[in-house]
């Protein structure tokens, strides 16, 4: 049971990190045509 909770926490953390990175890149490349670098 504890392992399952840990796994879902890990997945959630990864998702948050991915979306943060994505927004960071989108913001950085915004002057150069938004999210063309994908």
Give residue 38's pLDDT: 47
- Measure the CA–CA gap between 37 and 23, rounded to whole angstroms: 12
- Measure the CA–CA gap between 15 and 30, rounded to whole angstroms: 22
Q: What's the pTM value of the predicted model, to 2 decimals?
A: 0.49
| Per-residue pLDDT reduced to its tens digit, 5-38 | 889 999 999 998 888 877 766 666 556 555 554 4
Chain Cα centroid distance, residue 15: 5
CA pseudo-torsion sign 28, 30, 32, 37 = positive
Max CA distance (Å), the chain: 47
- Measure the CA–CA gap between 35 and 7, rounded to whole angstroms: 31
């Amino acid at each position: 049971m504890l392992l399952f909770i840990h796994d879902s926490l890990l997945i959630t953390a990864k998702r948050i990190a991915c979306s943060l990175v994505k927004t960071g890149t989108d913001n950085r490349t915004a002057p150069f045509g938004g999210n063309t670098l994908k």
